């Protein structure tokens, strides 16, 4: 046994000893934790393979001489041989690919415990208990719950008084602002869970005039809707908007929302799907459960009454 092999064995033993002290010899040891066991097994294999591969190639550099056919290409007179791919290297690469797929798909982490998975399961269980406990809450109690949700989730943008903090978010004390309605008419809107989104002005046809809606009609109907379906603009609304929103503006199931009233259902749709408006984009609130969204809708819609 030559000096190089002896040094390889010594280094291997030392590295495996350090590995054992760091993992296996720690308090509690590896126990039945598959993650620790896989980590240690991988470390052992890696150390042994690394040391003895290094020994092999160091010895090869000491004793071997270059041979074979040079490739046609060279760089400043430096070329490389057209040697076949080493069989051992090819097998090792293939085995590492197979092990990697097994590790991720069967061994870990896809098929193993995760803190994120445990957290998600706990949240789902809590939401189920919450929904069952508060399922029958209505009226003033629902509004009170909604105020708590608002203070926890919404006040950051909309402010404690729900006034939008100097225009940085929608003023929720107002049912609809004229600029909000006008922005939707001009630019369209997301689907909010309905079958199709609302088109922009190029898709809004006034059946009374048999033409696309004009700038003057947009201004008039925006003011009409924002004013609670009062004043000028009823004809334009009937000819352009009523086909989807209904003659009274209270919406049609599976087609379009209620724009005549500030309803909890509309607020919940915005919380479910988010909304792009005249002053920016509001994200969807996936972290709220259905009852919390219903309560927030009840509270917010009560502010403008």
- pLDDT, tens digit (0-9, with 9 covering 90-100), for 267-298: 999 999 998 888 888 999 988 999 999 999 99
213-266 pLDDT, tens per residue? 999 999 999 999 999 999 999 999 999 999 999 999 999 988 999 999 988 998
225-239 pLDDT, tens per residue? 999 999 999 999 999
With a cut of 80, say whether residue 36 has pLDDT above it: no
With a cut of 60, say whether residue 30 has pLDDT above it: no
Q: What percent of the chain is predicted at pLDDT more than 70?
A: 93
What stretches of 20-138 show up as alpha helix (H) in DSSP?
Answer: 34-63, 87-102, 115-133
Whole-number pLDDT of residue 194: 87
pTM over 0.75: no
**Higher-confidence position of 5 and 177:** 177
Section 48-76 average pLDDT: 81
> Which residues fall within 8 angstroms of residue 146, CB to CB, at 6 or more apart?
294, 295, 296, 297, 298, 299, 300, 302
DSSP-based three-state secondary structure for 76: coil
Give 116: exposed, middle or buried? Use CB within 10 Å, 0-12, 13-18, 19+.
exposed
How much of the chain is in helix, strand and coil states, percent to nearest 5? 55, 10, 35
Whole-number pLDDT of residue 286: 86
Cα–Cα distance for residue pair 216/220, rounded to 1 Å: 6
């Amino acid at each position: 046994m030559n000096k190089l092999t002896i040094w390889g064995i010594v280094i291997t033993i030392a590295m495996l000893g350090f590995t054992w002290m760091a993992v296996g010899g720690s308090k509690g040891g590896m126990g039945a934790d598959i993650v620790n066991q896989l980590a240690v097994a991988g470390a052992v294999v890696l150390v042994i393979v690394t040391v003895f591969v290094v020994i092999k190639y160091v010895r090869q550099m000491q004793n071997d001489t270059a041979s074979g056919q040079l490739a046609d290409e060279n760089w400043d007179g430096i070329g490389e041989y057209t040697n076949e791919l080493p069989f051992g290297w090819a097998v090792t690469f293939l085995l590492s690919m197979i092990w990697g797929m097994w590790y991720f798909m069967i061994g870990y982490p896809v098929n193993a415990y995760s803190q994120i998975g445990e957290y998600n399961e706990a949240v789902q269980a809590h939401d189920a208990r919450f929904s069952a406990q508060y399922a029958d809450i209505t009226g003033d109690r629902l509004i009170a719950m909604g105020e708590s949700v608002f203070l926890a989730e919404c006040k950051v943008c909309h402010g404690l008084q729900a006034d939008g903090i100097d225009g940085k978010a929608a003023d929720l004390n107002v049912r609809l602002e004229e600029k909000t309605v006008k922005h939707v008419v001009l630019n369209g809107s997301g689907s909010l869970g309905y079958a199709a989104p609302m088109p922009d002005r190029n898709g809004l046809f006034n059946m009374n005039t048999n033409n696309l809606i004009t700038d003057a009609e947009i201004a008039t109907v925006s003011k009409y809707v924002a004013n609670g379906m009062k004043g000028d603009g009823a004809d334009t609304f009937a000819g352009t908007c009523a086909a989807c929103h209904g003659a009274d503006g209270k919406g049609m199931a599976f087609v379009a929302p209620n724009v005549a009233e500030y309803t909890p259902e509309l607020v919940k749709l915005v919380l479910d799907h988010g909304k792009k408006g005249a002053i920016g984009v509001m994200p969807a609130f996936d972290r709220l459960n259905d009852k919390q969204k219903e309560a927030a809708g009840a509270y917010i819609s009560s502010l403008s009454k």
